[in-house]
Amino acid sequence: MTGLRNWVRDSELPARSGQAELSPPAVEEVADLLTAHVLVPDAAPPTEITWDYARWKPGISITCTYRLRWSDGHEETLVSKRYTGDKVRHLAERKDNSAELQSLSPRLHPRVILPDQSLSLWCPAADRELPGVAFLLNVKRFASLVKKSGITEPGLIRRRKSEYEPLRYKAERRAVFRARLKLRDTARTRINLAARVLPLEEALRISTARRDLEAVFDAAGETPFVPRLLGFHERYGILIEEWWDVKKGYESGDFSHARAAGVALANLHALALPGETGEASSGSGQDLRPLFSIDTALRDRYRGLHDLKPRSKTWIHGDFHPDQLVLIERQGRHSTALLDLDRLGPGDPTTDVANWIADHLFEDEELSFEEAASPLLEGYTEGGGTIVDDHLKRRVADDLIRRGAATIRRLEKGAVGRAARCLERAQAII
């Protein structure tokens, strides 16, 4: 269910850095934990376990996601989070609603706390930071939200015939589903919707930004090149979007459409900006020192991120990568569109351009800055945008530093060496 890019992981990195207590559970250990604590009575164990995701916070915790597959094709997701200190004991003392969630995960107990192992295990429906997942997976409750949002008429949704396709899940951060709702309607028998679940405060900010952006399109009489927000539940952090049938998509690491991406960014940045919309989430306040401090050479090389003031402020995507640009078909015509708007908001337009260029440099370490930047900037200029070169280079350098830290955070194999090269490249660029 994670829908995330697959990386070759190094499970020994925490132990080699002196934090063996935060070593991730190996697949064999997960199998034992399932049998001893997580499988419901009489449930068969999965036939395949795949480690999909890791997020290491040195000195604090390690979060991992595992995909479980059974011989009948059924799949589940299991999250493991191991802590330092007594956080797990406090979790064990909290009120537990696992009994209410059991029907949403028929083969696994939704949440298991193991204080003696400093370990918390859960299924997505029991994610404490994403309460909207449990709400969403309850078809009756979600159908009620769809009706209240005016997406369908009352009584049209056939709950037993409706289903969900999980697309992406980052533990405690976000979940994305495709909802296939069966209708009692002769004109249309099914409606597809995209449903996103975010932490509550973040969901409230992004819903406001999405509504403000749509108002800009409507005022100009233009068709949005982003999915429309059709519904929102502020208590559970659920955003319902229109579902687009994508004619052409791009994979992470594919930069062949750089020119089109530049035009798309210029179009977004040119839109009128309301004064009240909250700032886009940039991640600029991150303290990366704990990640780089796992290695003496990295710690000594790291000098922090630059304190960059925006040169201007526009609408920005906030997390612009190759796989977030797609071709869709509308009224018989193909058009470019943007997806994954969880960081949408006002911000420095250079941020989006730098995201793309730093991604390209990270994927191809032999590429020069000019080779990575030129196709995108040509499209950006074609679309009417202007970028100041020295400011762009400093933002790209910051993004490369963050990507170096991310290789460590996700326990990528060879992370220390790759992080060192990111730091070296960042310094060379500026």
Tokens matching residue 354: 């730098």
pLDDT tens profile 15-31: 999 999 999 999 999 99
> So what's the pLDDT on residue 278?
64
| Bridge partner residues of 209 (DSSP) | none
* Mean model confidence pLDDT for the chain: 92
- Residue 113 and residue 97: Cα distance in Å, rounded? 13
Residue spans of beta strands (DSSP E) within 319-364: 325-330, 333-338, 345-347
Domain 245-429 in CATH 1.10.10.10? The answer is no
pLDDT tens profile 181-196: 988 876 668 899 999 9
Q: How many CB atoms lie within 10 A of CB 193?
A: 21
pLDDT tens profile 32-85: 999 999 999 999 999 999 999 999 999 999 999 999 999 999 999 999 999 998
Q: Is the confidence at residue 384, as pLDDT, over 70?
A: yes
pLDDT tens profile 324-337: 999 988 777 778 99
Element (H, E) at 74: none
Region 390-394: what's the mean pLDDT? 93
> Would you place residue 247 in the very low, low, confident or very high pLDDT band (cuts 50, 70, 90)?
confident
pLDDT tens profile 99-140: 888 888 889 999 999 999 999 999 999 999 999 999 999 999
> So what's the pLDDT on residue 37?
96
- Describe the crossing of helices 369-382 and 350-363 by its angle, rounded to 10 degrees: 140
Element (H, E) at 409: helix 389-409
User: Max Cα separation, the chain?
Assistant: 67
pLDDT tens profile 270-322: 999 886 666 776 555 578 999 999 999 999 999 888 888 888 899 999 999 99
Give which of 146, 150, 270, 296 is closest to 213, Cα–Cα: 270
| SS3 at position 263 | helix
> So what's the pLDDT on residue 282?
57
> So what's the pLDDT on residue 367?
96
Pairing of the two strands 229-233 and 238-242: antiparallel
> So what's the pLDDT on residue 366?
95
CA dihedral sign, ordered 59, 418, 402, 6: negative
- Residue 363 and residue 370: Cα distance in Å, rounded? 15
> So what's the pLDDT on residue 1?
46
- In terms of phi and psi (left: phi > 0; alpha: psi -120 to 50; beta: otherwise), the region of 413 is beta
- Residue 258 and residue 367: Cα distance in Å, rounded? 15
Q: Calculate what percentage of the chain has a pLDDT beyond 70.
A: 96
> So what's the pLDDT on residue 153?
80
Say if CB 345 and CB 213 are below 8 A apart: no
Tokens matching residue 65: 């996601």
Region 343-363: what's the mean pLDDT? 96
Global pTM? 0.92
Amino acid at the residue 295 = D
pLDDT tens profile 348-357: 999 999 999 9
- Residue 134 and residue 127: Cα distance in Å, rounded? 8
- Say which CATH class 134-241 falls into: alpha beta
Domain ranges of the chain: 13-123, 134-241, 245-429
- Residue 182 and residue 168: Cα distance in Å, rounded? 22
Region 238-256: what's the mean pLDDT? 91
Give which of 344, 336, 365 is closest to 258, Cα–Cα: 336
